[in-house]
Chain A
Amino acid sequence: MEPLLKARNLSKIFGSGCQHCIAATGSEAETNVCPHCNSVVACNDVNFDLFPNEVLGIVGESGSGKSTLIKLTHFEWETTSGELNLHRSALPDGLGELLADTVDQYTRNLFALSQFQQRQIRNALMGIVYQNPYLGLRMNISSGGNIAERLLGAGWRHIGKMRERASELLEKTEIPISRMDEPPKNFSGGMQQRVQIAKALSNNPLLLLLDEVTTGLDLSVQARVLDLIRNIQSEFQLSMLVVSHDLGVINLLCNRTMVMKHGRVVESGLTDQILQDPQHRYSQLLVASQL
């Protein structure tokens, strides 16, 4: 089986950058800030394959570059360098030109596409859920409206069908349909996350990006959101990138995991191996400091 998505040499540097940035940062240097030019190397030389129906975990401490990877993959930030290739079979109709000059089964570098094309890909194939629901939802328009807006972006036009789809998704994420016309600002944190998930699923994405979606929620609320994600995983045919600093969440959701520190992937492997036989010093620390 071939990967759905291949990421190669992803780097993101904030600042002017200099010739020392890479050598002077990373887990050995114990910083992601270049001492010569003060640029922040948010991530460097990250490689991963994401397979169909796979859930890949990204774990690491605050500032290690986890969210950066999500933002690059979601085309929210421009990469400093690197390639992202999508398996051709995943492409929706009408995006055929993206494979014009490829010889293998993959698109050319998605980072090199125009913003318009990137938006097309994002609308057709991706869904995202942020830690902060304010980033993923418009708090003042109805929950149904939030979903309809996303469907419009994905090319839907029929109001009745959009409403039907919205109620179907809200039901799936256990939001009472009676509250569909209420804005998310009226909802609890856990409900807001579930509306975000409903919205992210609305276009039937092949790739779901989850960035610390349970962080900050009460344990029982966290449990419900995690159960929902597990159900989505078994019911929908999609791949996920799951970012968390919580090894418990990673263990529950992911078969494979990457450990990040100071903008670098210091270790990647089967999740049970990372948890029971961590190789890198930092992974060992992470596992040892679990509650």
Chain B
Amino acid sequence: MLSIENLNKTFNIQILNNIQVHGCSNVSFKVDSGQFFALAGSSGKGKSTVLKCIYRTYLPGSGHIWYDSANYGRIDLACAPERILLDIRSREMGYVSQFLNVIPRVSAIDLVMEPIIVRNGVSHANARERACNLLEKLHIPHELFNAYPATFSGGEQQRINIARAIGWKPRLLLLDEPTASLDAKSINQVLNLLSELRGQGTTMVGIFHDQEIMNKTASQTYTL
């Protein structure tokens, strides 16, 4: 489903005398559909850079990111037009960041419901049911459903983040340390949900802060 060929990324910081910051170099791997693919490697090797290049939050320097899109067929995300990228993001490809990056003044439940309504085209009631279900599985207390996540604890925020990213069942999900700020119990809940999602057909590429979790979860790994 995803085939990365010789991906390189260097950041050229012009406002700091053009210093060149290493992103990632010569990254090549293939992810088959249905896999939980893990990126490993020590800090600074460019794991997050690779994920962000796939999502095109970073502009790839050179190389190819071939993706078998449900809508567009085989397409190189490294150079696909912006509009197509946005469309793929909204229909097929999700991304879970390490931190909550959400819209201010929107309640937890609305945050989770929004992509379900917009992307899956289901009714309000239906989306609410799915969102509640998800938040319950993640053990978010009921009284927080209608509160703004800005004031939540780090772990709660991260679980909202995950719920928002997986609620709409993307076809390809990119995960950047999704369990980093969670306690052992929440980690298990999240991993269970992810494996449930994988069972429903979502392909995943993830980075884990914990070797043990990675070994337990990933079906394949690539070391940068």
Contact = CB atoms under 8 A, between A and B. Distances in A.
A273 B15 CA distance: 17
Nearest to A230: B103
Interface residues of A, number: 20
Contacts of B104: 223, 252
Given A273-B58, A276-B57, A276-B58, A284 B15 contact: yes
Interface string A267-287: 001101100110111001100
A66 to B, nearest CB: 20
Contact of A256 (B52, B59, B82, B105): B82
Contacts of A281: 14-15
Given A51-B83, A256-B82, A270-B82, A227 B58 contact: no
B103 A269 contact: no
**Which applies to chain B's interface (DSSP): helix, strand, loop or mixed?**
mixed
B56 interface: yes
A230 B104 CA distance: 11
B125 interface: no
Nearest to A251: B101
A255 B82 CA distance: 10
Contacts of A103: none
Contacts of B58: 273, 276-277
B57 A273 contact: yes
A254 to B, nearest CB: 11
B103 A270 contact: no
A227 B148 CA distance: 14
A43 B57 CA distance: 28
B184 interface: no
A252 B13 contact: no
B86 interface: yes
B13 A269 contact: no
B59 A273 contact: yes
Nearest to B83: A51
A272 B57 contact: yes
A252 B103 contact: yes
Interface of A: 1, 51, 223, 227, 230, 252, 255-256, 269-270, 272-273, 276-277, 279-281, 284-285, 288
28 contacts: A1-B83, A51-B83, A230-B103, A252-B103, A252-B104, A256-B82, A269-B82, A270-B56, A270-B57, A270-B85, A270-B86, A272-B57, A273-B57, A273-B59, A276-B52, A276-B57, A276-B58, A277-B11, A277-B52, A277-B57, A277-B58, A277-B59, A279-B59, A281-B15, A284-B14, A284-B15, A285-B15, A288-B15
Please give me the 6 A-B residue pairs with the lowest Cβ-Cβ distance, nearest first: A281-B14, A277-B58, A272-B57, A284-B15, A276-B57, A285-B15
